[in-house]
Amino acid sequence: MSENILVIGSGGREHALCWKLADSPLVKSIYCAPGSVGISSILKVDSVNLQVEDTTALAAWCKEKAINLVIIGPEDPLANGIVDALSTHGIKCFGPTKAGAQIEANKDWSKKFMSKYQIPTARYQSFTAAEEAKEFIKKAPFPALVVKASGLAAGKGVVVASSKEEACAAVDAILTDSKYGSAGETVVIEELLEGDEVSVLAFTDGETVSMMPPAQDHKRIGDGDTGPNTGGMGAYCPCPLITPEQLADVKEQVLQRAVDGLKKEGIKYVGVLYAGMMVTKSGPMTLEFNCRFGDPETQVLMLLLETDLYTITKACVDGNLKQVQVKWETEMSAVGVVIASKGYPETSTKGCVISGLSKVQSRPNIMVFHSGVARGANESLVTAGGRVMLVAAKRSSLRSAASVATSAAADIDFPGAQYRKDIAHRAFSNSLTHEE
């Protein structure tokens, strides 16, 4: 059996997925739309320029290329119903329908869903009027300091305020000033939870849930979790800040309960369900759900996945995930450090020549996944986005993996390059020491 796959997306997450899929003896060729320079460098993979919004033309292309499976990376196509559209043409997709993608794309709907199915989460209220929202912030019986635009805002529609005044200003920005457009027509005000954030992802076929090892993303731009929020400056896996007992609770009370609840709502949820958890003193609480693989968590997870990724995704689509034993490298740790361009996250600097890549890529158990890289003059590689690349290291200890990934990031250079030197620091009781 030799299968043809289409992966939709162009970032580091899709680079990692294509790299892992290409490893499968069952896979003949992989197309990635729109793909990237790094993705195209993988054996078996071609980047293709397709208009994924034109689902009729996309379906025709899939049939022409005998595509056996479409794997969707980003949330926007899922929220726009790409799976529904392709399914009507008989094309199999790994990813939820538009109705299933609401769990990420509509935070108001998602919170109501969690409440209905008793999934542990922060207390909240939703508003469409700014004055009512601000009045609630001032009088709520809990610290109502987390302000979220209900729709998709490219990971930027969440403000964790340090005061009621800051929370009220966030309400004005979202509802009054329409900072996020239609994504901010409804605002969700949540209780501020304290603890460690952990990402727990799972494969599902709509019935069975196969949980991945816990990972932790680092959202802030600066060391020590300082500065503005980003799309993620690095991740590590497995994360020791959640206990095996707590993980068992997350699987049962969050992931399985969500999949079962969706089924009761008439939604067969197929793909990846991502639970953003806060490990509080009273146990794990759900901050949010995402309807797809996380970025940068995927890059470190794929380094530790032993089972053939194509086999897993196909089992999810075919509805027989319980027949697949998904295995992970339990004796290894993976750490990924994102290198971002000058000005990120406010702006991004494009066209800067990247050096030191070949030196890093020649090292064992080191992977570089491209997020915003393009081909420049004289075949050079140049920056083409805010997050430029992620350098990931796999080692037998988490501390060693963090040290190696950080020193490898230091060897890649371009004008204005910025990266964190403390990825995985929360996992260590003392400060990270950079031993080789």
* Residue 213 sits in the same domain as residue 281: yes
Q: Which of 164, 190, 216 is the last residue of a domain?
A: 190
User: In the chain, which residues have pLDDT < 70?
Assistant: 1, 155-156, 429-436
Same domain, 364 and 399: yes
Token pair 């399914």: residue: 87
Cβ atoms of 235 and 214 within 8 Å: the answer is no
Given this model, what pLDDT does residue 1 score?
Answer: 63
CA distance 311 to 23: 11
Domain final position from 158, 190, 222: 190
Give the Cα separation of 178 and 393 in Å (integer).
41
Q: Distance (Å, rounded) from C-alpha 333 to C-alpha 363? A: 17
CATH code for the domain in which residue 55 is found: 3.40.50.20
Domain range for residue 208?
A: 196-323
433 assigned to some structural domain: no
Is the Cβ–Cβ distance between 5 and 69 less than 8 Å?
A: yes
- Residue pair 193/287 in contact (Cβ under 8 Å)? The answer is yes
Q: Do 16 and 62 share a domain, yes or no?
A: yes
Say if residue 203 is in the same domain as residue 272.
yes
Q: What is the pLDDT of residue 203?
A: 98
| CATH number of the domain encompassing residue 268 | 3.30.470.20
| Domains in the chain, number | 4
CATH number of the domain to which 153 belongs? 3.30.1490.20
In this structure, are 230 and 252 located in the same domain? yes
Considering the domain architecture, whether residues 146 and 208 belong to the same structural domain is answered as no
Flag whether 434 is in a domain: no
Strands 333-340 and 381-383: unpaired
319 and 252 inside one domain: yes
Whether residues 298 and 369 fall in one domain: no
The predicted pLDDT at position 155 comes to: 64
Q: Are residues 313 and 364 in the same domain?
A: no
Co-location of 216 and 298 in the same domain = yes
Question: Facing residues of 44 across strands?
Answer: none
User: Which pLDDT value is given to residue 139?
Assistant: 86
Domain boundary at 50, 79, 97, which? Answer: 97
pLDDT, residue 180, reads 83
Q: Is residue 269, in this structure, part of any structural domain at all? A: yes
Is the residue at 314 inside a domain?
A: yes
Residue 114 lies in a domain: no
